[in-house]
A and B are shown apart, each in its own frame.
Chain A
Amino acid sequence: MFGRHIRHQVAGLLDGELPLAERKRIEDHLAVCGLCRAEREQVRAGMSMLKHLPPAQAPDTIWNAIEAAWPERQQRSGAWFRQGFRPWFLAYAALVMVAAAGIAYWTRVHHHERQWEVVKIQVSAGGDKEPIRKVAGVGPGDWIETDAASSARIRVGQIGSVDVGPNARLRVVATSPLEHRLTLERGEIHAKISAPPKLFFVETASATAEDLGCEYSLKTDVQGLGVLQVTLGWVSFQWKGIESLVPAGASCRTRPHAGPGVPYFDDAPEELRNALENLSGERSFDTILRVARVRDTLTLWHLLARAGVSDRVRIYDRMAALTPVPADVSREKVLELDAKTLTRWKEALAWTW
């Protein structure tokens, strides 16, 4: 008699965001359904309460901090562009000048953008190296190596820095404006990158870390046994078509000839972390499903694509029990590993990660 209740659509009705036909259907339903009318009044009351929430003013210190951290590339660009263009009757002369200036500018900026520099070396007590006091440039093909008593900081063009821990060895592979890439043969680095995604890459023997705008630590041995730990943003950890997406607060191990494993949050239950070390065992899989928290859907989501069909069903059911599945994510599509569906689900789950 009443048709389907419309309680989840009343905000759309009150905000005037429904198409006409939908609006008519809902109004017809409201005319005969007291429950939904009550719901509408509650939502309306909730909306009206927000007028008591005063907008806040951002403190001036924020802009000061932004200016202090302002990427140099933008500063130079701004200075150049602010000059603007001269009147049209000088167009030809201006064009020539601008073209010349542009070429010089491009050359200078892009040279600087791609330049890597060792800006700091620390030697602990007992070390046999003298600290480097001046900046030293490094380029493609150069090796950087630290001993047990030293560490270094490398400025990566204009986009960030890499701290190199003791006993590390790495090689600069590419320093172009479109790609900064290094190979970490062994040791530990801490990268802090402020740039558009997919500009900074670190290769190890068993995986490549692709920056998605982030800060992270990466440790590996020469065989490729290593671990990635992300502290800000996201990192895509890849090897031969396998990809693990690792958000801040999570880690991901990588193994020789196997590539990146399944990521897990650093505060995940110890049982889950131990079980991930031995994923081939049936009991490990059971343990992961049993102890996973809502936040550990990060781990379960990655397991979906790496499990057989029957295990995939169990993973889906466990995830659905932990947190509601969005309406536009169908069970069938998930089990088929439909890429768009999995991405949509990941986006929704990311709120809990």
Chain B
Amino acid sequence: MVPLSDREVSPEIIADCRAGDRDAIRVLYDTYKDRVYSVALYFFHGDESVAADVTQQVFLKLITSIGQFKGDAAFSTWLYRLVVNACQDMARRRKSAAWTTERSRLEEFPMRGSQEDDYARAEDARSVRDAVSELPPKLRMAVLLRYFDDLSYEQMAEVLHCSMGTVASRLSRGHKRLADRLKSLIGAKG
């Protein structure tokens, strides 16, 4: 999992956010923004403008509705429900607007730091990103939630409104498809 997962906000910060404290909301934003953005970015095939739009929508929604968060579930579970909803909304808008094809968006996705980084490593990242992009949306979201926030299966079941068995099934199928798609890379890595 990515190291970002270790960072959580305290119940006091959540309480301050519910009371409308702008500084507390900024703390919460700083804690989760990269995770939310990463999930949206890879869910939408590396389209940075869409990922930024989704991230903005998630936090605006959070600001207006955090009063509804009663603390009876983990905060990240509640937050990622907003993320999933925002991604679904955006996906619908993209379908309806007949946006740029996924393939062309992928080609536009810049390789951050690739000039300085090892070329092979950048190529590996591109291959994995392409493979993730080709997963069906349900499997893609499950894989990304697990990877970027290390949600438990129980939390993912709540976020995705399905059973824990379905979560296990989606992750099994998702990772197997990734392995199939990345056979050559896996072979090269031994």
Question: Using a CB–CB distance below 8 Å, which chain A residues touch chain B?
Answer: 7-12, 15, 17-18, 39, 42-50, 52-59, 61-63, 65-66, 69-71, 73-82, 194-196, 213, 231-233, 247-250, 265-267, 295, 326-328, 344, 347-348, 350-353
**Cβ 8 A contact of B88, one of A9, A56, A81, A351:** A351
- Considering the complex, which residues of chain B in the window 75-105 have a beta carbon less than 8 Å from any beta carbon of chain A? 88-89, 92-93, 95-96, 98
Chain B nearest CB from A49 CB (Å) reads: 5
The 8 A-B pairs at the shortest CB distance, nearest first, are namely A77-B20, A46-B175, A78-B22, A249-B96, A58-B37, A11-B171, A12-B168, A46-B178
Chain B nearest CB from A213 CB (Å) reads: 7
Point out the residues of chain A lying under 8 angstroms from B63, CB to CB.
66, 70-71, 74
Point out the residues of chain B lying under 8 angstroms from A46, CB to CB.
174-179, 182
Residues of B in contact, count (CB < 8 Å): 79
Point out the residues of chain B lying under 8 angstroms from A350, CB to CB.
88
A75 to B68, CA, bound (A): 18
> Given A82-B23, A213-B61, are A39 and B176 neighbors across the interface (CB < 8 Å)?
yes
Point out the residues of chain B lying under 8 angstroms from A233, CB to CB.
89
Point out the residues of chain A lying under 8 angstroms from B65, CB to CB.
196, 213
**Cβ 8 A contact of A42, one of B4, B64, B125, B179:** B179
- The residue among B16, B26, B131, B178 with the most chain A CB atoms within 10 A of its own CB is B178
Point out the residues of chain A lying under 8 angstroms from B20, CB to CB.
73-74, 76-78, 80-81
Point out the residues of chain B lying under 8 angstroms from A353, CB to CB.
88, 92
A-B contacts besides A49-B178, A71-B63, 11 pairs, CB < 8 Å: A9-B172, A46-B182, A48-B186, A49-B179, A52-B128, A66-B56, A69-B56, A194-B60, A248-B89, A248-B92, A348-B162
**Cβ 8 A contact of B33, one of A62, A82, A265:** A62
19 contacts between A and B (CB under 8 A): A12-B153, A12-B171, A15-B153, A45-B186, A46-B174, A48-B186, A49-B186, A56-B34, A56-B41, A58-B33, A82-B21, A213-B65, A247-B89, A248-B92, A267-B96, A326-B163, A347-B162, A348-B161, A351-B137
Point out the residues of chain B lying under 8 angstroms from A328, CB to CB.
162-163, 166
- Assess whether B2 is interfacial by the CB under 8 Å rule: yes
Point out the residues of chain B lying under 8 angstroms from A71, CB to CB.
60, 63-64
- Considering the complex, which residues of chain B in the window 156-190 have a beta carbon less than 8 Å from any beta carbon of chain A? 161-169, 171-180, 182, 185-186
- Considering the complex, which residues of chain B in the window 43-74 have a beta carbon less than 8 Å from any beta carbon of chain A? 48, 51-52, 55-56, 59-61, 63-65, 67-68
Of all chain B residues, which has the CB nearest A53?
B128
Point out the residues of chain A lying under 8 angstroms from B92, CB to CB.
247-250, 353
A71 to B41, CA, bound (A): 26
> Given A9-B172, A11-B168, A328-B162, are A53 and B37 neighbors across the interface (CB < 8 Å)?
no
Point out the residues of chain A lying under 8 angstroms from B148, CB to CB.
55
Point out the residues of chain A lying under 8 angstroms from B21, CB to CB.
77-78, 81-82
- Assess whether B36 is interfacial by the CB under 8 Å rule: yes
Point out the residues of chain B lying under 8 angstroms from A213, CB to CB.
61, 65
A33 to B174, CA, bound (A): 21
Question: Using a CB–CB distance below 8 Å, which chain B residues touch chain A?
Answer: 2, 4, 16, 19-23, 25-26, 29, 33-38, 41-42, 48, 51-52, 55-56, 59-61, 63-65, 67-68, 88-89, 92-93, 95-96, 98, 112, 121, 124-125, 127-129, 131-132, 137-138, 141, 143, 146-148, 152-153, 161-169, 171-180, 182, 185-186
Task: State whether B67 touches A58 (Cβ < 8 A).
Answer: no
Task: State whether A56 touches B51 (Cβ < 8 A).
Answer: yes
Point out the residues of chain A lying under 8 angstroms from B23, CB to CB.
78, 82
A82 to B59, CA, bound (A): 20
Task: State whether A53 touches B55 (Cβ < 8 A).
Answer: no
Task: State whether A50 touches B178 (Cβ < 8 A).
Answer: yes
A82 to B172, CA, bound (A): 47
Chain A nearest CB from B98 CB (Å) reads: 8
Chain A nearest CB from B161 CB (Å) reads: 4
